[in-house]
Copies of this chain bind each other. A is one copy, B any other.
Amino acid sequence: MEIQDFKSVVDAYKIIFFDAFGVIKSYQGLVPGIEKTFAYLAEQQKEYYIVTNDASRSPQQLAESYHRLGLHAIVPDRIVSSGMLAKEYLDMKVNDGIVAYLGTENSAHYIDSSGLHTLPVSAINYTNIDQVNALVLLDDEGFNWFDDLNKTINILRNRTIPAIVANTDNTYPLSGSNEVAIAIGGLASMIEAIVGKRFIRFGKPDSQLFMFAYDLIRWQQDIKKKDILMVGDTLHTDIIGGNKFGLDTVLVLTGNTLAADAEMRIRSTGIMPTYICEDAVVR
């Protein structure tokens, strides 16, 4: 398992897709030095896209969160999130009634803007449950896990409605240490198993998110998949998803996959990145 220099890897591609958590930032802040990467890409006239399993906020708000951390290079129209796909689904497929959600008010505002009537799971009761026409799982924060996960089970036992998972991640890294937190995708899998129903999941490794970004690019220029590099910290989302979509991939060791485990995990899962780099920093 050879560790390669990120800059020399990047030089062979025209467009770089970055996962967000564990690559650019952690729960605690930016990956140190990452702003140099974006400066280099701008200088070299390479394009970037943030391709992220995140339904907690709008692209506008996500961009602002990078600016607050000091990374001013990120602009909203370069952010492609699983939340955008979930929003698109709800716009097309749910026409009336209530969309119950698990997540922050902020995450629901983003969905709301499409004219849907969203209510937190905590606000569902016997007077309105019959109007609930979809359930969407947006974020692991913003609700009481004990009360609202239990209520979610009972909503889904009572109503035959689509349940949408707007972020398929099981965990997200809290910091540069080995600490992680359970993401909404992990909670979704528990609920899915308990109620025995099949949820609709948006986000990597599914190709729909990669296609969304790819379409944005193709709209403007003639680009081939071989010109795109996917950079991620998680084998079973970023890497297998990128591989399957036909992209070359870099595994970085600043998030879910620790340096000590990387080789063992690649061998045991059979998920092979094209390259491995310590981080996504151009030095």
- Tell me whether A246 and B92 are in contact (CB under 8 A): yes
Q: A190 touches which one: B146, B190, B244 (CB < 8 A)?
A: B190
Task: Tell which of A34-42, A105-113, A154-162 binds the partner.
Answer: A154-162
Q: A211 touches which one: B187, B208, B235 (CB < 8 A)?
A: B208
- Tell me whether B194 and A186 are in contact (CB under 8 A): yes
Tell whether A178 is near chain B: CB-to-CB under 8 Å.
yes
Within 8 A of B (CB), among A116-144: 140, 144
A28 to B140, CA, bound (A): 30
A266 to B154, CA, bound (A): 18
A218 to chain B, nearest CB (A): 10
Copies in the complex: 4
Within 8 A of B (CB), among A262-276: 264, 266-272
Chain B residues within 8 Å of A226, by CB: 92
User: What count of chain A residues pass the 8 Å CB interface test?
Assistant: 60
Chain B residues within 8 Å of A158, by CB: 178
Q: Is the interface of A mostly helix, strand, loop or mixed?
A: helix
A208 to B160, CA, bound (A): 27
- From known contacts A171-B153, A182-B149, infer whether A197 and B162 are also in contact, taking CB-CB under 8 Å: no
Give per-residue flags for A191-203: 1 if the beta carbon is below 8 A from chain B beta carbons, else 0: 0011111111010
Q: A145 touches which one: B145, B236, B267 (CB < 8 A)?
A: B145
A161 to B270, CA, bound (A): 6
A150 to B187, CA, bound (A): 11
Tell whether A225 is near chain B: CB-to-CB under 8 Å.
yes
A266 to B236, CA, bound (A): 21
A133 to chain B, nearest CB (A): 10
Tell whether A163 is near chain B: CB-to-CB under 8 Å.
yes
